Chain A
Amino acid sequence: MIQLDKITKIYHNFGGNKKYALKEIDLFIKKGELVAIIGPSGAGKSTLLNILGGIDKPNSGHYYFDNTLIEFKANKLAHFRRNNIGFIVQNHALIEDMTVYDNIALPLKYSLKSKAQLENYVLEIASYLNIKDQLSNYPTQLSGGECQRVAIARAIINKPRLILADEPTGSLDSENKRNVMNIFKDIHKSTTTIIVTHDYEIADNCHRVIELNNGGIIENEKI
């Protein structure tokens, strides 16, 4: 499903010095896999996730998604994200001046679904994640766990083929953490899921753990 071929990402600091965020990464992830990416801060985890999700582009290397080479051009990437990717990020990344309903429905607006379709999808997903009662509320009125469920709802509403979760449980208590992990276990049956985490408990629940350090893969272990 996903194949990375010598992906390199370099950042330049103000002094003009290069910093390798990712250095010639080779990676293969099968369809339906639940993968954890772990590593210390600055290891390149989020950069890898951003490249996989098409919101950042590598300096060199190739990215194949379902055997199709991804071209890192703005319009093509938008189309790629819209049709294939669901993002869940740390701190939920919800738009505070939009209701829960609108936050969840946001991806559908870009895939040009009709109003009726949009409503059905939102209600269905909200019921599944037990946030139906919160649809008219704003994110500031929700608990951390509810916010994360809204973020998950938004990520999966378009039925993406790949879910990318960046520290999805970082700000949750242990009960909410378990709930979120159960949701991931549930949805990965139909979707490939990659989770960036510091949390080894979360990583242990995945099929595979990839450990990054200094922009390179130091361990790629099946559990």
Chain B
Amino acid sequence: MSFALKDKKLLVGSIAIITLLTLVITLILNSFLINDTIEEKSKKYYHTYVDNQYIKISDTYDSKGSSFTEALKKEGFLTRLKQFNHDLQTTDGLNFFEITKQHVAYWGYYNGKNNFVVAYDMDPTMKNRLIKTPAGQVYITPLYAIQVDSKAYNLFLKNILAAGEDFSDDAYNYQPDKTTIPCILGSNYSTVYEIGDLIQIEYLTKIINLEVSGFFDKTASIPINGSILYLDNYIILPSLNCQYDPQDPEEEFFQKILYDQKNSGYLIDEGLDYYAIVHSIANTYDLKYTVGTNKKDVSMVNQGVTALLTKKIVFIISIFLLLLAIFTLILVLMQKFHREAKKISINLICGASLSIIKVKMYSYVIFCYLISLIMALLIIGRDFFYISSENMAMGFTIIFFSLIAAIFTLNLLVNNYHLGNALRRR
């Protein structure tokens, strides 16, 4: 029984088997990967907060009859915003961190990927809108961006860079003469920019340069607004601290907007009456902030359930495809065995051992599995390393047992094949 490429039926069968097995192995390992990217990251980066809820703090301006525009004009508004922020950071029992979606506007003609452009799918005109500025007309394009303070960064994003450096302590400090602030880009940016590149953007009211200091790993994500946000297409900025008094109204306006954003962060729910605490602090400074109206559980539980469901569906599909692959494998081999049964039985009556033929068949099965495994690993790529050792062991156990099952079934079929009849074939 020879396994040569000139056997066209075998070649076509082999391609089908290897394709199916590659798909199956990729799906099985990916089904664990889906779970692992969340579970493992939870274990690694979410520390003890994995079971906690995250409570959003929001301002209540522009609702309940209070206008943010009016508040902006009030005396000492910026100072109070800063004090509120300080109290959120320092009050006993409050575990506050800043994560805010704060998109930036690319300044100039944008030739980049559409994935990075805010709401491009819904409105392609978001890209390269021409606006008038005192210096003339300029194209702007909103890009997805998120700002995080050092606490949020350390909680969720530290040490998951694919390249470059985490934000330094200085990255969070903003001074008026600072025209460049560091940024870390999501993994999809890695083919667009290099470390050290400058990106000119409009951030709140300022035109500044972002200096690329690194790229996040593909799996980098943060909890925001009740879900896990993957940062592949995001620019991550430090949530800036302005430890100076503004020298002009424009600067003051910038800081007011910035601090309102900073204050709209999250509290880690540790069972206190946050509504009362936050209202109390906010009232002290005559500010309108609350918790709970936008209370979002950064639903690790929900996310876990979704992931589990996805995993289950992918897993069931994988098992179905695995059975199909094994069936195809057995069918192809048994058809070949049947085609060559006469030749095999002639060799047997001449003294050949069926064991040699079986070994050839099993080697072919192992070969198909190995090729498929290599191809699956190439498809999964670096993500493979995010699969936990337990899940990897489970995945490989399933694959190994399917291999054993295929060989066992083949052995049974070959043993029960009536080779004596094949000798009589014309």
Give me the interface of A with B, judged by CB distance under 8 Å.
Answer: 46-47, 49-50, 53, 55-56, 74-75, 77-79, 81-83, 85, 87, 89-91, 93-95, 106-107, 109-111, 154, 158, 166
Contact = CB atoms under 8 A, between A and B. Distances in A.
Contacts of B355: 74-75, 78
A82 to B, nearest CB: 3
B342 interface: yes
Interface in B333-375: 342-343, 345-355
A81 B349 CA distance: 7
B354 A74 contact: yes
A75 B355 CA distance: 7
22 contacts: A47-B420, A49-B420, A55-B348, A56-B418, A74-B353, A78-B351, A78-B352, A78-B354, A78-B355, A82-B351, A83-B351, A87-B350, A89-B424, A90-B423, A90-B424, A91-B426, A93-B342, A93-B345, A93-B423, A109-B350, A158-B351, A166-B423
A91 B420 contact: no
B351 A53 contact: no
Contacts of B353: 74-75, 77-79
Contacts of B351: 78, 81-83, 107, 110-111, 158
Nearest to A155: B349
Nearest to A47: B420
Contacts of A83: 351
B240 to A, nearest CB: 77
B319 interface: no
Nearest to B420: A50
B426 to A, nearest CB: 5
A110 B424 contact: no
A113 to B, nearest CB: 11
A47 B420 CA distance: 8
Given A55-B420, A74-B353, 18 more contacts: A50-B420, A55-B349, A56-B419, A75-B355, A78-B348, A78-B351, A81-B350, A81-B351, A87-B349, A89-B423, A93-B345, A93-B424, A95-B343, A107-B351, A109-B350, A111-B351, A154-B350, A158-B351
Nearest to B354: A74
Chain B interface: which size bin?
Answer: 20 to 34
A110 B352 contact: yes
Contacts of B352: 78, 110
B382 interface: no
Most chain B C-beta atoms within 10 Å of own C-beta, residue among A78, A83, A93, A166: A93
B345 A55 contact: yes
A36 to B, nearest CB: 18
B346 A91 contact: no
Contacts of B419: 55-56
Contacts of B426: 91
Interface in B310-351: 342-343, 345-351
Contacts of A166: 423-424
B425 interface: yes
A13 to B, nearest CB: 12
A91 B350 contact: no
Nearest to B357: A74
B420 A56 contact: yes
Interface in B381-426: 418-420, 423-426
